[in-house]
Amino acid sequence: MILITGATGNVGRPLVAQLLARGAKVRAISRHPNTAGLPDGAEVVKADPSRPDSLHGCFDGVTAIFLNARAVTTAASKVLALAKRAGVARAVALAAGNVDEDHARQPSRWRGDFNAELEQAVIASGLEWVSLRPTVFASNFIGMWAPQIRAGDTVSGPYASASTAPIVDADISAVAAHALLRDDLLGRKVALTGPQALTNTELVGVIGDVLDRPLRYQEVPPDLVRRRFIGIGFPAEFADAYMALLETTVSTPALVTNEVEKILGRPAQAFGDAIRPQRAQFGKE
């Protein structure tokens, strides 16, 4: 039995489906199991991995656990201690590509993703471990840019020449399934990226090609972007970290690895592959 935290997220949901397709037994933790909408065959349990006292019985028969940093928040060490006492053998952590960076360049940290603490806890747990370090999720750009593209043909933001190598979320799930079921990644921190680094201008161009629309990226001052983030409820620290992270790639292209291809035996999916199934989200208002 494999226990999945963050089971209804962009990585967790396809991970559950991929494990079931490979014949694994899956127990998915959800705070709202009646609305989880997970694939048939998964055992869905009501619990909150950020509250270890809610996990009574969740580890029965479990041999491996997938830990999502946003799901466990600051409770990773306690969750892992419970797992070890229950006889769980393996932990796979969903951390992030920038966990070694200064906190000032880790925007997701300011939204509750304690990736470094999760990775450290998994390594110290005494269990077999793998830490996945994906770069920016391709789905993030849908959330950030779809409202602007629905409203018009211009995406405005900072640093037009800043680059990322976004990874399609389902590729992270596929690597996670591999790490949970096979032994060749044990003891590794695995840096996962998409197949190429693309600037913000190029990313918008890819979306335009998929939508067959003449989209363009308009660079605006970072301070304006900072005010926008704060205006929609993001912490100022998130805005500052996001800008600092992008600024570092203006003159140096983002890292690209071939780990997805080496692990899965196929190329990593391209950014456009994430956009095509979501075309409807970009439709004009």
Render pLDDT for 155-197 as a digit per residue (tens, 0 to 9): 999 999 999 999 999 999 999 999 999 999 999 999 999 999 9
Which two tokens mark 169?
């979320």
Helix intervals (H) in the chain = 12-21, 69-72, 76-85, 115-124, 138-151, 169-181, 200-211, 222-231, 236-247, 259-264, 271-275
Q: For residues 252 and 249, give the distance between their C-alpha atoms in angstroms, rounded to a whole number.
A: 5
Which two tokens mark 266?
């196929």
DSSP of 88-103, one letter per residue? --EEEEE--TTTTS-G
pLDDT attached to residue 265:
96
3-state secondary structure 222-277: HHHHHHHHHHCCCCHHHHHHHHHHHHCCCCCCCCCCCHHHHHHCCCCCCHHHHHHH
pLDDT at 10 over 60: yes
Going by pLDDT thresholds of 50, 70 and 90, the confidence category of residue 34 is: low
pLDDT attached to residue 257:
96
pLDDT attached to residue 112:
66
Which of 8 and 260 is assigned the larger pLDDT? 260
2-134+169-193+257-265 CATH: 3.40.50.720
Going by pLDDT thresholds of 50, 70 and 90, the confidence category of residue 223 is: confident
For 67, phi then psi, to 5°, come to -115, 120
Going by pLDDT thresholds of 50, 70 and 90, the confidence category of residue 36 is: low
Going by pLDDT thresholds of 50, 70 and 90, the confidence category of residue 58 is: very high
